[in-house]
Structure 1
Amino acid sequence: MFQKLFKPTILSINANLGVLFLRIGIGLIMIAGHGYQKLQKYLGSDLAFGDPIGLGEETSLLLAIFAEFICSLLLIFGFLTRAVLIPLIFTMLVALFVVHGNAALGKQELPLLYALSYLTLFLTGPGKYSLDQVIFRDK
């Protein structure tokens, strides 16, 4: 089952390139726009952070760093792609429905776009140009 979850789906050449660009692009944007900022905040001992689901500020910050920085980094390389997309999707759904749940569409737009991108990658898999392809392909 583990092998089946991570084995890349067979896609056309154009689809593989599209998935590669989406994986790298969305990963870099998340790291640069959100993950790195939160990591620097934590390393600077600034633990003030929202607690949208009641886990505590520091725990929420660490989980956000894990998803937005570490999982995004793994996504860029296409390593354990579907597994690392789960925390990313969850984080964006929390941002969409809990943090910005009552906000106007303008505030909900970014987490919605991230969530849709991550869901698309979860359904397509990492594509041919990924570490998952090297590790989990049929031999």
Structure 2
Amino acid sequence: MSTTDIETTTTATDVALCWLRITGCLLLLSVHGLPKLLHFDHELGVIEDPFGLGSWLTLSLAIFAEVLCPVFIVLGVLTRLATLPVLFLLAVSVIWVHPEWSLAEGQFAWLLLIVFSTIFVAGPGRLALGTRLAHHWPLLREL
């Protein structure tokens, strides 16, 4: 097998990373991101503002992390970079916003932290648009 064959062979790991990217992002989008985006005015009145940035900026940053970043992650474009705002948002949620949550109450946030930290560590895998485009645009190459 040549080096080229090895680089283009899809493995179970690549399929698993693709599955993890897609399903994790769909969960984040459907449960958190899209409701915030679609009900922006309502969410302005109920969003927590742990850093005193104001509800509009806090909500906008949350939508960035829960809507735009998942699109990049699903596509596998700048995947590791796109996971950072998601991980930050989830960490803020469980540490500063809801420190009173028991493990059972915060299990969805903790599971999402596990999913997105795994994606951060492993990268997007070979079944990612960014992996294919990186040959032509080196700036898209994963770290």
Quickly name the TM-score band, shorter chain normalised. 0.7 to 0.9
User: Which residue pairs with 1:15 in the alignment?
Assistant: 13
Contact 2:94/2:101, CA 8 A, preserved across alignment: no
Unaligned runs of 5+ in 2: 1-7, 139-143
Aligned AA for 2:87? I
Aligned AA for 1:91? L
The alpha-carbon deviation at position 58 of structure 1 amounts to 1.1
Contact 1:100/1:107, CA 8 A, preserved across alignment: no
Unaligned runs of 5+ in 1: 1-9
Distance 1:26 1:130 in 2: 15
Contact 2:25/2:74, CA 8 A, preserved across alignment: yes
Give the direction of change, closer, same or farther, for the CA distance of 1:40–1:72 in structure 2 (3 Å limit).
same
After superposition, give the CA deviation of every residue in 1:15-54 in whole Å (9 maximum; x if it has no partner). Answer: 0000000000001111111100000122xx3321210222
Aligned length in residues: 129
Matched, 1:79 2:112: no
User: Which residue pairs with 2:22 in the alignment?
Assistant: 24
Contact 2:83/2:120, CA 8 A, preserved across alignment: yes
Provide TM-score, normalisation by structure 1. Answer: 0.85
User: Which residue pairs with 1:3 in the alignment?
Assistant: none
Higher radius of gyration, 1 or 2: 2
User: Which residue pairs with 1:5 in the alignment?
Assistant: none
Give the direction of change, closer, same or farther, for the CA distance of 1:80–1:102 in structure 2 (3 Å limit).
same
- Alpha-carbon RMSD across the aligned residues, in angstroms, is 2.1
The alpha-carbon deviation at position 107 of structure 1 amounts to 2.1
Aligned AA for 2:86? L
Give the direction of change, closer, same or farther, for the CA distance of 1:126–1:11 in structure 2 (3 Å limit).
farther
User: Which residue pairs with 1:93 in the alignment?
Assistant: 91
Aligned AA for 2:29? I
- Identity over aligned residues, as a percent? 30
Map 1:28-107; keep pairs closer than 5 Å. Answer: 28-42=26-40, 45-46=41-42, 47-48=44-45, 49-107=47-105
Structure with more contact order per residue of length (Cα contacts < 8 Å, sep ≥ 6): 1
Contact 2:62/2:89, CA 8 A, preserved across alignment: yes
Q: Where do 4+ consecutive residues of structure 1 move more than 2 Å?
A: none
